[in-house]
Amino acid sequence: MSRRKLIYEGKAKILYEGPERNTMVQYFKDDATAFNNEKKAIIEGKGVLNNRISEFIFNQLNDVGLETHLIKRLNMREQLIKSCEVLPIEFVVRNIAAGSIVNRLGLNEGSILKNPVVEYYYKNDALGDPIVTIEHIKINDWANEEEIKKATKISLRINDVLSGLFRAVGIKLVDFKLEFGRYWNNEEKKIILVDEISPDTCRLWDTKNEKKLDKDRFRKDLGGLIEAYQEVAKRLGIMPEGTNIKEIKTGISKTIKLKKS
Ligand SMILES: Nc1ncnc2c1ncn2[C@@H]1O[C@H](COP(=O)(O)OP(=O)(O)OP(=O)(O)O)[C@@H](O)[C@H]1O
Ligand SMILES: [Mg+2]
């Protein structure tokens, strides 16, 4: 695998050249980072779980006509994806106040927003990913008006699909982050969903007791991150009870579709 050409190594994933034109391989690492890379750790098994959860969610979206970059999962840590020109914008959809919006707007954590809101952040580590307006995006040519409108509309549709999906398994979708890319299919340009959707990029609370089942467990030193991600996977029906944690942690098994205990 190491013979492949490395294209980009990020904080949580690595991109390699894919087997065909316009494809790449997305490798999920175990690295966890927070607060613009100030806090770091390696959490064994996280990449395997995120790979699997993101695959499941992207397949659900593809099935309802919301195109994503996912072609297929290759193994425990890798996905074959469509290569895109990623918009340097993070699209954040919020249903419930949590995280940065709480202090920025003086809201109570957990308060329900009257309707879902989309926020835009400029992907730039040196600037600390600042929140920006649509005007900022346009004057800097990070994306044009049509692309922003399209991506915003898709973000809200994804919110509808995922809110229902998680609600059905006793989880509140508090907020999540999306990235979009330009994908050229012959002459036609499309805006499609890229990157990942996983407990690293969402806030997920247990409906009954509001237990956090996402990366806030790492940000807030709550512990039990792998167990929480496993719980999400289990509820989504990806990993049956009795799944072998060793296989998740080592990522050695060819398939994580493991037998029931
Ligand atoms: N389909 C795709 N085509 C091209 N690039 C992609 C695609 N999907 C995701 N990416 C990019 O691959 C990288 C994934 O790595 P990772 O998430 O670890 O990055 P990161 O450390 O969060 O840094 P960044 O600020 O670049 O997102 C991101 O830069 C993401 O935008
Ligand atoms: Mg990223």
Question: Residue 256 has what pLDDT?
Answer: 43
Distance 61 CA to ligand 1 centre (A): 19
Classified as helix, coil or strand, 4 is coil
Among all bound ligands, the one having the nearest atom to the CA of 87 is 1
In angstroms, the CA 140 to CA 138 distance is: 5
**Alpha helices in the chain, H assignment, sequence order:** 46-63, 100-105, 134-139, 145-167, 216-219, 225-235, 245-250
Which is nearest to 206 in space by CA: 188, 189, 227? 227
What are the structure tokens assigned to 19, written together?
């087997």
Question: Residue 257 has what pLDDT?
Answer: 42
* Binding site membership of 177 for ligand 1 (Cβ less than 6 Å): no
**Mean pLDDT of each 10-residue bin along the chain, 261 residues long:** 86 97 97 94 97 98 98 98 98 98 98 98 97 98 98 98 98 99 93 98 98 98 97 91 68 46 35
Distance 195 CA to ligand 1 centre (A): 6
One-letter amino acid of 88: P
* Binding site membership of 84 for ligand 1 (Cβ less than 6 Å): yes
Q: In the chain, what is the straight-line distance between the N-terminal and C-terminal CA atoms, in Å?
A: 32
In our burial notation (b when 16+ CB lie closer than 10 A, e otherwise), range 23-58 reads ebbbbbbbbbbbeeeeeeeebebbbbbbbbbbbbbb
Nearest CA to ligand 1 atom 16: 10
Distance 196 CA to ligand 1 centre (A): 9
* Binding site membership of 197 for ligand 1 (Cβ less than 6 Å): no
**Domains, the chain, with CATH or none:** 6-84+225-244 (3.30.200.20), 85-206 (3.30.470.20)
Distance 10 CA to ligand 2 centre (A): 7
Q: Which residues contact 137 (CB under 8 A, 6 or more apart)?
A: 89, 120, 122, 143, 148
Phi-psi region of 171 (alpha: psi -120 to 50; beta: other; left: phi over 0): beta
One-letter amino acid of 140: N
